[in-house]
């Protein structure tokens, strides 16, 4: 009995399962087949529709045959409405997978957001999910929004490529949305990177953290330990007033302006004291009486206000038009020198060279004479 193996009392009455071996992945998601649907056809029809922009109409019309053929394999019917600019999917009597209608809905959403049909079809796979991140309402300033959105792409798309490689996701930035396809864990990371970037946190910090995590995951000894000591801790660096002033001075120097500093502040002039109160300012009614607006009727006042508003709008429109027209003004091109100008320049250059040579000769002669006089003086 001493050599008998010790059996756990909780597993003493557990029967052996010869079909359950170690090479079976218990967490694998098996594809839903026709024989898995025990209930038969669905009791009601489910449908989803989405709008698409005008510029996608031509592309969708060209690839709609491929979309229809792909969805027909899963028993889903689809419709392209070019009049109202919408796409719709619905279940049919041949549909056997109850979740495939949601996958088809995601597919037409991605097609509307600019994803190619070859990539959008992959969403029908159970292991692939999608997320559409809205970034248009995070930053109000348009120039700042464009700069931060460009940070996600990076120079020549390098930052976007790094995000795709680290998260195993497909990322497409289109207008004010970011379309992402991939595993659920990757979608979460991409959403975090994109939203942080729009809140002025550079994507490189998150990319560095992901790279460190990927290297740590390879070490089995660190599986049960905390990784906080390995991950970088980035803090916002608040500039001091002197540092801000130094940066402003660099910018002003580059622009050709005088630097500002503690000694450059304008000294406030001391006001002369007077015991009399300041003169009374005219009231709004007094100003209206003076301009004659007080005696106008209600509709006449509205017409005057509308006229002022229209003049201001025209002035602003003219300024914007002039600013836009600056980009189309052709630069001043230097005309190629004529033969006469080339000859004139050559003559001037030769004259300058001759003057320089003569000056050198005179200098050498003067030096030689001076040396000769010194030598004669020493001999005497």
203-217 vs 158-167: helix crossing angle, rounded to 10: 30
Contacts of residue 137, Cβ cutoff 8 Å, sequence gap at least 6: 176
Q: What is the pLDDT of residue 81?
A: 93
**What is the spatial distance between Cα 30 and Cα 70, in angstroms, rounded to a whole number?**
20
Mark 259-268 as b/e (b = at least 16 C-beta within 10 Å).
Answer: eeeeeeeeee
Calculate the alpha carbon distances from 228 to 22, 204, 222 in Å: 33, 18, 11
Please check the confidence at residue 264 and state whether its pLDDT lies above 60: no
CA 34 to chain centre: 44
Output the pLDDT for position 216.
Answer: 87
Mean pLDDT within 334-341: 80
Q: Which segment, 12-26, 206-220, 257-271, 334-348, is predicted with the most confidence on average?
A: 206-220
Residue 48 forms beta bridges with which residues? Answer: 89
pLDDT at 268 over 80: no
State the Cα–Cα distance between residues 267 and 264, nearest whole angstrom.
9
Task: Check residues 34 and 142 and name the one with the higher pLDDT.
Answer: 142
The pLDDT of residue 263: 47
CA 305/CA 354 separation, integer angstroms? 76
235-244 burial by CB neighbour count: b if 16+ within 10 A, else e? Answer: eeeeeeeeee
CA–CA dist 101, 47 (Å, integer): 8
Cβ count near 256 (within 10 Å) = 6
Count Cβ atoms below 10 Å from residue 185 Cβ, excluding itself: 12
The confidence band for 39, taking pLDDT boundaries of 50, 70 and 90, is confident
- 214 with 230: CB under 8 angstroms? no
Distances (CA, A) of 216 to 179, 234, 263, 357: 29, 19, 54, 74
Which two tokens mark 156? 């020549």
The predicted pLDDT at position 217 comes to 86
Helix or strand (DSSP H, E) at 158: helix 158-167
* 276 Cα distance to chain centroid: 60
Say if CB 213 and CB 149 are below 8 A apart.
no
Report the pLDDT value the prediction gives residue 129, as an integer from 0 to 100: 93
Confidence of residue 50 (pLDDT cuts 50, 70, 90): very high
Residue of 136, 161, 158 whose CA lies nearest to 149 = 136
| Of the candidate ranges 245-249, 267-271, 304-308, 360-364, the one whose mean pLDDT is the lowest | 267-271
Residue 221: pLDDT over 80: yes
At residue 357, the pLDDT reads: 82
Helices (H), the chain: 57-72, 100-112, 117-120, 142-153, 158-167, 184-198, 203-217, 241-254, 284-291, 298-325, 339-379
pLDDT in tens, 117-155: 999 999 999 889 999 999 998 998 999 999 999 999 999
> 380 falls in which pLDDT band (50, 70, 90)?
low
Q: Band of the pLDDT at 261, cuts 50, 70, 90?
A: low
- The model's pLDDT over 74-106, given as tens digits with 9 standing for 90+, comes to 999 999 999 999 999 999 999 998 899 999 999
CB count in 10 Å sphere of residue 68: 14
Residues 239-266, mean pLDDT to the nearest whole number: 71
- Tell me which of 139-148, 179-188, 338-347 is least confident: 338-347
* DSSP characters over 53-80: -GGGHHHHHHHHHHHHHHHHTTTEEEEE
Higher-confidence position of 348 and 16 = 348
Q: Average of pLDDT values for 52-72?
A: 93
Express as a percent the part of the chain with pLDDT over 70: 91
Q: How far apart are CA 156 and CA 205, in angstroms?
A: 19
Neighbours of 137 (CB within 10 A): 9
Query: What is the three-class DSSP state of 109?
Result: helix
The residue among 288 and 377 whose pLDDT is bigger is: 288
Q: What is the mean pLDDT of the chain?
A: 85
């Amino acid at each position: 009995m001493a050599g008998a193996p010790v059996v756990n009392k909780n597993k003493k009455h557990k029967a052996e399962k010869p079909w359950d071996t170690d090479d079976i992945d218990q967490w694998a998601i098996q594809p839903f087949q026709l024989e898995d649907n025990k209930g038969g056809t669905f009791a009601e029809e489910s449908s989803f529709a989405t709008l698409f922009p005008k510029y996608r109409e031509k592309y969708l019309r060209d690839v709609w045959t491929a979309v229809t053929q792909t969805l027909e394999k899963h028993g889903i019917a689809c419709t392209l409405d070019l009049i109202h600019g919408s796409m719709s999917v619905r279940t049919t009597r041949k549909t056997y997978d109850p979740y495939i209608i949601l996958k088809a809905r995601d597919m037409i959403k991605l097609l509307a957001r600019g994803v190619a049909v070859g990539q959008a079809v992959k969403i029908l796979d159970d292991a692939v999910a999608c997320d559409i991140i809205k970034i248009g309402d995070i930053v109000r300033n348009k120039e700042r929004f464009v700069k931060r959105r460009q940070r996600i792409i990076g120079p020549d798309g390098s930052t976007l490529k790094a995000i795709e490689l680290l998260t195993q996701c497909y990322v497409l930035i289109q207008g004010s949305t970011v379309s992402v396809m991939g595993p659920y864990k990757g979608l979460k990371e991409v959403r975090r990177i994109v939203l942080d970037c729009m809140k002025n946190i550079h994507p490189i910090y998150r990319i560095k953290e992901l790279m460190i995590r990927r290297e740590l995951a390879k070490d089995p000894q660190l599986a049960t330990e905390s990784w906080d000591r390995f991950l970088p801790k980035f803090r916002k660096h608040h500039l001091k007033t002197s540092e801000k002033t130094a940066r402003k001075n660099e910018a002003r120097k580059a622009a050709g302006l005088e630097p500002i500093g503690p000694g450059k502040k304008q000294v406030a002039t001391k006001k002369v004291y007077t015991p009399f109160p300041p003169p009374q300012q005219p009231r709004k009614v007094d100003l209206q009486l003076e301009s004659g607006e007080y005696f106008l009727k209600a509709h006449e006042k509205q017409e005057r206000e509308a006229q002022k508003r229209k003049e201001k709008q025209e002035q602003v429109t003219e300024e914007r038009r002039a600013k836009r027209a600056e980009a189309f003004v052709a630069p001043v091109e230097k005309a190629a020198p004529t033969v006469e100008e080339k000859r004139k320049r050559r003559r001037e250059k030769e004259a300058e060279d001759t003057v320089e040579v003569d000056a050198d000769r005179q200098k050498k002669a003067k030096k030689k004479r001076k040396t000769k006089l010194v030598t004669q003086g020493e001999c005497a």
